[in-house]
Amino acid sequence: MGLVLKLESLRAGYILRSLDRNRVIPAVNEVSLEIRDDEIYGIAGESGSGKSTLLKTMFATAIEPPLRIFGGKIYYYVQNKEIDVLTLSVQEKMRLSWQYVSYIPQGSMSVFNPIRKVRTVFLDFLKSHVKEGEEKLLAVATRHVKALGLAPEVLDAYPHQLSGGMKQRLAIALATLLNPRVILADEPTTALDVVAQKAVIQLLREIQRESKNTIVLVTHDMGVHANIATRVAIMYAGKIVEEGSTTAILKRPLHPYTKYLIDSLPRIGDKHVRESVPGNPPSFLDLPSGCAFHPRCPYVQEICKREVPQLVNVNAEHKIACWLERR
């Protein structure tokens, strides 16, 4: 299976001006990962773990202040050619955005202007990428919406006439109109009821199955990853602390933090009180030394407080960053 996207030792974050001085928020810290063709790659972790910032760095045109790249590399693989994204001009990035890689931001259902019909939003989007008459473009939008199992009449609606779940599905339809190779989706099921969540998961799964493209899915909800992801990366304090096939992560989580995330998943018939991760995630402005999870970890050793564990292979398909695995 070929690569579609690769990050090498990526460091990214924000520079915020406060009280007359600049504060650096290092939300992504030395992240390396390889995303493959034809897979759903999940990124999990608590709020504030850096997963949404990481996802944003993968969308070329979203890399603009306040988001900054402090170091490392981002590569796309377009028609078997490796492209160093950080060397591209704005025009080159714009050419690749939406056609090679598309982005469904958090709260994307609000992309629809309340005073404009959904069809106008679809047409404006198409007009900015395809040189065709309005009639042909409307036919493209209608065909796409229908292919995703949505009633074409929704294009004639105003956003307030649609449910949150329907708007989210339309936001996904909009982001996939140009059949991108990679779809980046940030918390697409958050703020939806369970029925709407199921419909969104189903839609993403069908798009991927049909087009054989790649979806990178960020959500704090391990249940969604369990349902849809091929592989999962667990993020903590801006770093990937575990990565593996979804089956391996769910059946045999190795990192103490991953174990807490899996243990907190509800199970049918199991009435035990779920144990959540003790304590709170650290601030990016004051990260603990060594392993950033050490103040919350029940297995902490002296070395954990001093030295950062690197992400290493446990086997070909499973990686972990924890001193427990090195003993």
Which residue from 239, 224, 221, 219 is spatially nearest to 50, judged by alpha carbons? Answer: 239
What does residue 296 show for φ and ψ, rounded to 5 degrees?
Answer: -110, 0
Which tokens is 1 given? 């299976």
What does residue 26 show for φ and ψ, rounded to 5 degrees?
Answer: -85, 80
Q: How many CB atoms lie within 10 A of CB 311?
A: 18
Q: What is the CA radius of gyration of the chain?
A: 21
* Residue ranges with strand state E in 60-169: 67-78, 81-84, 101-104
For ligand SF4, the closer CB: 187 or 242: 242
Before 295, cis peptide (omega within 30)? no
Torsion sign, CA atoms 186, 187, 192, 198:
positive
For ligand SF4, the closer CB: 159 or 256: 256
For ligand SF4, the closer CB: 70 or 299: 299
The contact set with ligand SF4 (CB under 6 A) reads 255-256, 291, 293-294, 297, 299-301, 304, 309, 322-324
Supply the minimum distance, in Å, between the C-beta of residue 233 and ligand SF4: 16
For ligand SF4, the closer CB: 121 or 241: 241
As beta bridge partners, residue 82 has 77
For ligand SF4, the closer CB: 211 or 301: 301
